[in-house]
Structure formats: structure tokens, C-alpha cells
Amino acid sequence: MNVNERIKSAIRDVPDFPKKGILFRDITPLLADPALCRDMVTEMKQQSDGLALDAVIGIESRGFLFGMMLAERLMIPFIPVRKVGKLPFKTVAHEYAMEYGSAIMEMHVDAVKPGMRILIHDDLLATGGTAAAAAELVNLQGGHVTSFSFIIALDSLGGRQRLLTYSQNIQTLVTYS
């Protein structure tokens, strides 16, 4: 079985979470398999080979898990993007619309230097709102979003289309329609 098939077979479907009618794709079973985690990072690195990257951004909180490992494998810095109020130093913030309200994401003001080429990683691409907010933070700092990386894409929710504004390079390990 290839790595993508192994990922799909390990993902746990949780019906009616976080609310009735939603089928949640749970990645926590992946974390119980160190060999699969290693192979996932290898696959993500291969997807990034040939890209000139200066840093990986990981989106709170599940984007930290594999984003940090990917940055280490690529031998480039890791930058956390967090919910408002979670970072200890001066920040730049971006407010974005969600399905039911809004949210604010932040990064440290010195995290992205002008001209830096950034890969943004998160566990899941659904509507693309959170990843787009991270891309806006990169733009505010004068950086360039070179690529997006996700473990799972839920293509029926339109996130991939939304992110094409920032980069044509959108990598996923598994996709659900």
C-alpha cells in the first residue's frame, strides 16, 4: 500500500462532529504510527523538492505537528501562525470570515522578512479561510506564498479554488470529494 492509501485507511471518520451533519476527518490515529508519520513527511518533502523555500508556516494547532517536521526535513525555519493572543511578542494580525462569525490569526512581526518564499502547511483544506488568512499575514510582511501543503483536502468545499489567488502550487496527500 502506498503512503496515500495508508493515510486514508488510518484517518478516522467521526460523524456529527463538531456538530450534527458534519463528517470530521480525524488525523490523530496517524500520530500513533511513527513509520507512517515519517513517510508522510518524506512525501511532503518530495512534493516541495525544487521549490525555493525560505520557511514553513504551520497553522495552529494541527499544522504545527507536521509543519515543524517538514521544516526540519527541508532545513529551513518554522514559523507558527496562531489564534489571537497566543504569541508573546509583537504581532501582525489578520481578521477573516468563518462559516459562523470571524477569527483573527497572528504571527510575530519579525517572522517573515520581505521577499521570503513561504510554504504554508495545515492538516486540512476545507473552505480555505484559515490558510488564506495565513497567506494574508505573509503578504502583510512582504513575503511570497510559494506553496500550500495539506494532509487532507475536502475538494467539495472550494478551498483549493480560494487559495489559487495566493499560489498555484497546492499539495495534498489525500483528497475527498
Calpha distance 83→94 (Å, rounded): 10
Report the C-alpha gap between 23 and 176 in whole angstroms: 11
> Do 19 and 170 contact (CB within 8 A), yes or no?
no
| Active-site residue, 72 included | no
Catalytic residue among 62, 73, 117, 162: 62
Q: List the beta strands (DSSP E) in the chain.
A: 12-15, 23-26, 55-59, 78-83, 91-98, 101-108, 117-125, 144-154, 170-176
- Enumerate the β-bridge partners of residue 79: 57
Catalytic, 73? Answer no
Q: Just list the catalytic residues.
A: 62, 99
